[in-house]
Amino acid sequence: MTRDSKGPDPQRSLTLLWAGRARGRRGPRPQLSVERIAQAAIRIADTDGLDALSMQRIATELGYSTMSIYNHIPSKDLLLEVVADVGAGKPPELDSTGDFRHAVRQWVAALWAGFQTRPWLLRVPLGHSSMGPHQLAWLDRLLQPLLRAGLVGGEARAAALHLTAVVRGQAQISIALTSAPPADEGLSRGEAELAQLLATFINPRDYPALAAVQAAETAADLAEHERADREAFPGALSFGVDRFLDGVEAWVAAKSHRRDNG
Amino acid sequence: MTRDSKGPDPQRSLTLLWAGRARGRRGPRPQLSVERIAQAAIRIADTDGLDALSMQRIATELGYSTMSIYNHIPSKDLLLEVVADVGAGKPPELDSTGDFRHAVRQWVAALWAGFQTRPWLLRVPLGHSSMGPHQLAWLDRLLQPLLRAGLVGGEARAAALHLTAVVRGQAQISIALTSAPPADEGLSRGEAELAQLLATFINPRDYPALAAVQAAETAADLAEHERADREAFPGALSFGVDRFLDGVEAWVAAKSHRRDNG
DNA sequence: CTAAAACTGTGTATGCCATACGTTGAGGTG
DNA sequence: CACCTCAACGTATGGCATACACAGTTTTAG
């Protein structure tokens, strides 16, 4: 480790992510470790947000000087890669019996819940962390029901990427919209008033489809909103995932039919 | 405008995003404007990346002092929201004749291309920019073919969100994996060697499905890779979008059938 | 018509940040 | 035992966002 050159070096990222620290080195025994540093960083981000995450903060949290951190991690960018991987945690256990759709929905719900718990994960630039051990574990878990459904290698990989991307993207958008107003000044105008303000901008001339959708929605809106709070993930996500799984199922069926007749 | 309180204030975000500067104010006529500032910021991010984007840099680029910027934009976070919206640009014109799938694919390809052109857009925290005029224009454009396909309000909105999320997420992952190695030191080991290094970590014990997929892929990999470079967007994205559209089509068909028989 | 008020642009200052560099001492290795 | 390597530390540097006080300009109130 020690002093090193910078720059986006995938090799370094990978070895850092996959740890496996070699023992039997010289010098004093390290008290700090990549693991401890990452844990402290996650703790800070969980409690005070990603903006509060600084090298100095980590060091004081652990009771060491700021620069000691750099003996274990060459830069903050690399640290963030590690944090993004470790912070993802372990993937859930899925029902491997029966419907592959059920398993996939379980996986989606778990990932969604993870992003709700740690919204800051969505603000960490991915870097090479998507090749970290935890990220790959999540990917592996999702691939299993997809392969079981009848997708072949490349298709399963594409479908898994699709689902990962959907949850990531939806969570990002969802969290962006749910940033709480300051609520001081006595009257904290709710989302309703905000939506109304926005509605004044959405004139049917510039946004015909949007206006149409918005007009058609005011009716059944409330009932759906209340129901959504009780679900594992919101209706918009659910609809998309279900339609995708419909398509996957049809694709597999068509493939096997092709094989039967070929 | 002038001096203002901070904090995530949706109201302020929206009024800033939707501009409409009122004239007839006191004081000297402003030479700077939110528009000019945003354009300069985009220029900087395009040429030197998001990390090079600082208030000082913007100011010197425009030939003003750093603090002048704050007379027009209360904080850098708000600036980024504006930049994220303006930087998205105008949505493409879609073929409104014929197949809705074609139009959707056009839209997806355009958004994908946008993210390739401006990768830094994916690193800007969304904030409330998703309610900016440009973002809504993109959304509106996508809603049109979806409504035409036969989805009703809520479904169309969910499907549009799904597609947006997919492209965003896939682009993020894709860009994260394509960060170039420094390529100094004579031998710039390619992605191949990197993949091989990664492969040593992926043992079938911990990652059974991944290993299976990887083993099944080495064969037809090259041909597919070469073909992917000529497409508007990569095969993984295409597969997912197509399966989703299959599901949407089936859903609409089932609905109309239900109606015919109900 | 005048004076106050409001606003834009400027310069300076503060405090936080990542990180380069030099030093010290610990503890394996020859 | 001598040497080498490395962990932890302190200090220093340059960049950053932004608070604050000021100067000049234009609109508006009286």
Q: What pLDDT, on the 0 to 100 scale, is given for residue A128?
A: 85
- What pLDDT, in 10s, does the model give residues A34-81? 999 999 999 999 999 999 999 999 999 999 999 999 999 999 999 999
Q: Are A26 and A47 in contact (CB under 8 A)?
A: no
Q: CA-CA distance, B80 to B183, in Å (whole number)?
A: 32
Say whether A83 sits in a helix, a strand or coil: helix
A24 or A149, which is more confident? A149
- Cα separation, A194 vs A230, in Å, equals 24
Q: Which nucleotides of D are covered by protein (CB under 7 A)?
A: 4-11, 15-21, 24-28
The reply to whether B176 touches chain A by the CB within 8 Å rule is yes
End-of-domain residue from the set A88, A121, A140:
A88
Say if residue A73 is in the same domain as residue A134.
no
- CB-CB contact of A138 with A82 (8 Å): no
Beta carbons of A41 and A58 less than 8 angstroms apart = yes
Do B153 and B43 lie in one domain? The reply is no
**A209-220 residue pLDDT tens:** 999 998 887 666
Q: Are residues A127 and A72 located together in one domain of the fold?
A: no
Q: Could you tell me which of B18, B24, B33, B26 has the C-alpha nearest to residue B81?
A: B18
**Whether residue A83 is found in the same domain as residue A145:** no
Task: Tell me the shortest Cα–Cα distance from A26 to chain B, in angstroms.
Answer: 27
Judged by CB atoms within 8 Å, which residues 107-146 of A form the interface with B? 123, 125-131, 133, 136-137, 139-141, 143-144
**Which A residues 22-81 have CB within 7 Å of strand C?**
24, 26-29, 52-57, 66-67, 70, 75-77
- Indicate whether B109 and B18 sit together in one domain: no
**pLDDT tens digits in sequence order for chain B, 262 residues long:** 556 655 567 777 877 888 766 666 787 888 999 999 999 999 999 999 999 999 999 999 999 999 999 999 999 999 999 999 999 999 999 999 889 999 999 999 999 999 999 999 999 998 888 889 999 999 999 999 999 999 998 999 999 999 999 999 999 998 887 765 544 444 445 566 677 778 888 999 999 999 999 888 766 666 666 666 667 788 889 999 999 999 999 999 998 887 777 6
A117 and A73 in one domain?
no
Alpha helices in B67-207 (DSSP H): 76-88, 100-117, 133-149, 153-177, 191-201
Domain carrying residue B65:
10-86
Distance A65 CA to D11 C1' (A): 12
Beta-carbon contacts of B108 under 8 Å, excluding residues fewer than 6 positions away, are B163, B166, B167, B233, B237, B241
Under a CB-based contact definition with an 8 Å cutoff, are residues A162 and B236 in contact? yes
Question: A242 and A155, same structural domain?
Answer: yes
**CATH code (residue B32):** 1.10.10.60
Residue A238 tokens read as 């659910």
The answer to the question of residue B255 being in a domain is yes
